[in-house]
Amino acid sequence: MTALRHSAAALMLLILLALTAPSVDACPFCTQELGRTMIDDLSKASLVVYGSMSNPKLGAGPLEEGTTDFNIESIVKPHKILDGRKKITLTKYFNQPGVKFALFADVYKDRVDPLRLVPIEHGSELVTYLTKAQSVREAPMTRRLEYCFPYLNSKEFEVSLDAYREFGAADYKDLAKNFDPKVLRSWLDDPKTPPYRFGLYASLLGHSGTPEDAKYLRKLILEPERHKGSGLDGMMFGYIRIDPKEGWAFLEKQIADKDRDFNTRYACLRTIRFLWSQYPDLVGKANIARAALAAGEHPDLADFAIDDLRKWQRWELTKEVIALGNRPTHDVGVIHRAILRFALQADQFAKDAPVRELAHRHVETRRKLDPEQVQETIEILKIESSANGTGQ
């Protein structure tokens, strides 16, 4: 039984560390199709060319990869090995006749090793996109984003995707600037816009929009058939960013509504987390903490919200957090463990003596019920503290 409990505790530790891993500053509203970008690869590759392949030859033995000729039609990123040449030989076998490619390759002595091949359709703007990107690949991220912005709505999937990945990888501080609100609204209104992009476009609109755009975003949030529930956190942030008073009141109402589906309420919680980390003064930390406590009213959100309050050190809410565990709806293991983690750290770090005493009483009550769980939770918090490099 003890071995099983320790295995369960180890699993819980892995989950907890994943949930409490240090957050990154990359765009939190970019949720799909992320990965390295072709503009990044422009910097890493020795050369980039556009053309087609011919003369594929298999290697003579199992360890030989073969060769393929690459017929150069245009050069995106030059290299001295290309001087005066219309053809280069790749050190791999490719049998794809009739297909045009953008080739990213490394060069070692006279050997050309392909790093990335991107198929290109007739009339593609990809070559133009990459060629012009040469001027911004080493530029500050804000300049790169300005370059990529119009390509977000490219009709060509590879180009649009690459521009989106640039925004997804950027620090949010680089996104927090003015992009054309008319363009953003047109993309949000376009039925061809993938739903997963609504969060990014709406959050960008939040930095450049007008009071009318706040009303527009509110209406958009309430029309789930248009965005299919995707990007709600970005839309709510955009609304609050333009109109903090009305936008925040709207979010509070949404997160307190028991009739709202889980995805809507969880999107509210994600918005709350983002405001706490990036814009705490927009509505005030006390209001953000109270909204997280309201999220804790829902059993399916309680453990997430309680852990947020713990990480934010909102010990003044200790009484309310502990009281959640007394509700029949919250008599669930994960919620009791979240409250125990909160109480353990409130007992240790709260400055107010009555708060520490209240937290201590809760810990001792749980210790009488399950001393092994309390000790395991203490060890988990120590490891979490070490992993996060904090004193708690």
Confidence (pLDDT) at 389? 67
- Collapsed DSSP state (helix, strand, coil) of residue 49: strand
Confidence (pLDDT) at 12? 52
Instruction: Tell whether the model's pLDDT for residue 2 goes beyond 80.
Output: no
d(CA 221, CA 215): 10
Domain ranges of the chain: 1-25+296-392, 40-132
Confidence (pLDDT) at 392? 56
Instruction: Identify the band that residue 9 occupies on the pLDDT scale cut at 50, 70 and 90.
Output: low
Q: CA 372 → CA 3, 109, 259, 381, distances in Å? A: 12, 63, 38, 14
**For 40-132, which CATH class?**
mainly beta
Instruction: Tell whether the model's pLDDT for residue 248 goes beyond 50.
Output: yes
Label residue 123 exposed, middle or buried (CB < 10 Å: 0-12, 13-18, 19+): exposed
With a threshold of 0.85, does the pTM exceed it? yes
Instruction: Tell whether the model's pLDDT for residue 1 goes beyond 50.
Output: no
Instruction: Tell whether the model's pLDDT for residue 387 goes beyond 70.
Output: yes
Q: What is the mean pLDDT of the chain?
A: 90
Label residue 246 exposed, middle or buried (CB < 10 Å: 0-12, 13-18, 19+): middle
Q: Range with the lowest mean pLDDT among 65-69, 243-247, 363-367?
A: 65-69
